[in-house]
């Protein structure tokens, strides 16, 4: 499986060649199960297109596309630098990448934002990420769940978004999980519009 090919469109949204190369290496590190997984096993929390085989991939692509659409509007996009926009796209590509852990477990890990965030930070050299960029990604990914920051027992385990970049990443993930917003996909998991 050529993982970079699957995320080709999303990687091409990234303007900086350096960050684009890091994104390619990051995408290659996404566990295989991610590409088969549904975004929600119950269907309770996600729109129809993100259910079933490949649902998590489609959810991720929808979140990235929502970011791209918002950032293309200068009233919204001009509030961020090109680097910040690039890194928010990378954060969204990677936000659910370790949903069932580094070594696949049976169920979704409530702390999956921290697993992805820390994996990227700890391996930053392998992904050719600067300390600053790795920290940006770590924070944005760790807080992407927004107010849903507890484990299954209700204990707070995740940070909530604090900066405008963390807010933006959470907002895009949140919009991509709304049942009223349907993104059209073809059989190859490409967005058709």
The binding site for Fe ion (CB under 5 A) comprises 96, 173
Closest approach of Fe ion to the CB of residue 119, in Å: 16
Q: Decide whether 77 or 146 has the Cβ nearer to Fe ion.
A: 146
The residue among 124 and 144 lying less far from Fe ion, judged by its C-beta, is 144
The 8 Å CB, 24+ separation contacts for 157-161 are 157/110, 157/111, 157/114, 158/111, 158/113, 158/114
Q: Which is nearer to Fe ion, 21 or 118 (CB)?
A: 118
Q: In angstroms, give the least distance from the CB of 58 to Fe ion.
A: 11
CA distance 181 to 20: 28
Between residues 37 and 96, which has the closer beta carbon with respect to Fe ion? 96
Residue nearest to Fe ion (CB): 173
Whether the CB-CB separation of 31 and 97 falls below 8 Å is answered with yes
Least separation in angstroms between residue 1's CB and Fe ion is 21
Three-state secondary-structure class, residue 6: helix
Find, among 142, 136, 133, 89, the residue nearest to 112 by Cα: 142
CB of 125 to Fe ion, least distance (A): 27
């Amino acid at each position: 499986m050529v993982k970079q090919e699957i995320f080709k469109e999303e990687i091409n949204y990234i303007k900086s060649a350096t960050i684009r190369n890091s994104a390619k290496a990051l995408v290659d590190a996404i566990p295989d199960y991610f590409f088969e997984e549904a975004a929600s096993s119950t269907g309770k929390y996600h729109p129809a297109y993100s259910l079933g085989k490949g649902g998590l991939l489609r959810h991720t692509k929808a979140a990235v596309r929502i970011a791209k659409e918002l950032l293309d509007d200068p009233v919204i996009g001009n509030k961020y630098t090109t680097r910040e926009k690039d890194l928010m796209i990378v954060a969204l590509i990677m936000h659910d990448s370790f949903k069932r852990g580094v070594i696949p477990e049976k169920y979704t890990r409530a702390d999956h934002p921290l697993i992805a965030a820390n994996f990227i930070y700890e391996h930053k050299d392998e992904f050719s990420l600067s300390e600053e960029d790795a920290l940006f990604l770590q924070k944005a990914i760790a807080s992407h769940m927004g107010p849903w920051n507890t484990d299954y027992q209700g204990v707070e385990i995740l940070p909530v978004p604090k900066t405008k970049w963390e807010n933006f990443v959470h907002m895009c993930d949140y919009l991509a999980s709304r049942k009223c917003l349907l993104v059209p996909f073809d059989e190859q998991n490409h967005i058709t519009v």
